[in-house]
């Protein structure tokens, strides 16, 4: 029995003897099936061909995979006074990664921005003693590996630690979630966004899409909702889905001008 992993999106499935017939996440319009067809791997095979890669940015540990695998996002270890949170996940979990995180205090919970980054969330949870995984209930259908560690929350916000709040932004997925750290950046506030707000290459703007690979824009109502969600927050820095894709200062103003630019473009 293996927990098969989709090579295209990196999602790990529940244990089966044979690979699943299809990956529902890749068959959704926001993602896609590989041109060569559906392909599967396992954690054991991935450990033999890849390794976890680490970045250190502003005191935060980012975790990726080398060579790049699936979507290529990073996870981020978010420290708090009550223990660290793993924000988003990657498919590869290695003993080296677990040991490195334990050296800086370990993890007490996992929170994930949207289903494309669920990946090997259950294996990550198990590696730290079955810590809870916080997912928005609106995205329950996209969980391919059900587990008792998963805590579905509903509504618009959930506090998961001192100054740490999960916020349902919607948009990319119905339950798309942001993590706001009110104590981060010296009390000026940090917003962890995945690619619900995609940090642009110039790192002065963010942008929005229903589907990035299939170029489906997000509608105006969804973007205006995101604007309303972010407006009350203190935000100095924004950490995106990929290593070094961060807005380093005046993040709230960056979101505001980004929304204005985006709405002007889709309405022109």
9-64 pLDDT, tens digit each: 999 999 999 999 999 999 999 999 999 999 999 999 999 999 999 999 999 999 99
**Alpha-carbon span 66 to 53, nearest angstrom:** 6
Of 120, 158, 112, 160, which is closest to residue 139 (Cα–Cα)?
112
Token pair listed for 122: 């259950």
Cis, peptide link before residue 67, omega less than 30° from 0: yes
- Helices 251-267, 220-230: axis angle to 10 degrees equals 160
Residue 196: which of 154, 158, 166 has the closest Cα? 166
Residue with tokens 């890749």: 26
Residue with the two structure tokens 């988003």 = 88
The confidence score (pLDDT) of residue 195 equals 95
Residue 139 has pLDDT above 90, yes or no: yes
pLDDT of residue 112: 98
pLDDT of 132 over the 90 cut: yes
Percent of the chain with pLDDT over 70: 100
Q: Residue 134 — very low, low, confident or very high, per pLDDT cuts 50/70/90?
A: very high
pLDDT at 81 over 90: no
Predicted pLDDT at 108: 97
Whether the CA torsion 100, 102, 106, 107 is positive or negative: it is: positive
Rounded to the nearest angstrom, the gap between the alpha carbon of residue 22 and the centroid of all alpha carbons in its chain is: 22
| C-beta atoms surrounding 228 within 10 Å | 10
Residue 136: per-residue pLDDT: 98
Q: 2-267 maps to which CATH number?
A: 3.60.15.10
pLDDT at 253 over 90: yes
CA distance 223 to 230: 11
Report the percent of the chain where pLDDT is more than 90: 98
- Please tell me the distance from the alpha carbon of residue 72 to that of residue 90, in angstroms, as a whole number: 8
Looking at every residue in the chain, the average pLDDT score rounds to 97
- Name the token pair of 244: 């070094």
Neighbours of 166 (CB within 10 A): 25
Sign of CA pseudo-dihedral 40, 45, 50, 54: positive
12-24 pLDDT tens trace? 999 999 999 999 9
pLDDT value at position 83?
85
The encoded tokens of residue 205 equal 């703007």
Q: If pLDDT is split at 50, 70 and 90, which confidence band does 241 have? A: very high
Picking from 82, 86, 58, 59, the residue whose alpha carbon sits closest to that of residue 73 is 86
Q: Where are the domains of the chain?
A: 2-267
């Amino acid at each position: 029995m293996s927990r098969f992993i989709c090579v295209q999106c990196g999602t790990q499935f529940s244990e089966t003897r044979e690979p699943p017939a299809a990956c529902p996440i890749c068959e959704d319009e926001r993602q896609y099936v590989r041109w060569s067809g559906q392909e599967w791997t396992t954690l054991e095979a991935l450990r033999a061909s890849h390794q976890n890669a680490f970045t250190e940015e502003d005191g935060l540990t980012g975790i990726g995979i080398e060579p790049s695998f699936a979507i290529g996002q990073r996870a981020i270890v978010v420290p708090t006074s009550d223990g660290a949170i793993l924000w988003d996940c990657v498919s590869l979990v290695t003993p080296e990664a677990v040991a490195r995180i334990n050296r800086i205090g370990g993890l007490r919970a996992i929170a994930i921005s949207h289903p494309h980054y669920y990946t090997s969330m259950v294996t990550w949870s198990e590696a730290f003693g079955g810590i809870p995984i916080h997912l928005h209930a609106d995205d329950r259908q996209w969980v391919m590996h059900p587990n008792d560690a998963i805590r579905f929350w509903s509504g618009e916000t959930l506090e998961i630690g001192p100054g740490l709040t999960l916020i349902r932004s919607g948009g990319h997925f119905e339950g798309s979630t942001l993590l706001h750290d009110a104590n981060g950046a010296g009390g000026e506030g940090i917003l962890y966004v995945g690619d619900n707000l995609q940090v642009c290459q110039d790192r002065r703007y963010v942008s929005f899409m229903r589907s990035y690979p299939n170029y489906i824009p997000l509608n105006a109502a969804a973007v205006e909702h995101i604007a309303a969600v972010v407006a009350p927050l203190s935000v100095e820095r924004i950490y995106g889905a990929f290593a070094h894709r961060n807005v380093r200062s005046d993040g709230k103003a960056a979101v505001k001008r980004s929304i204005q630019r985006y709405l002007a473009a889709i309405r022109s």
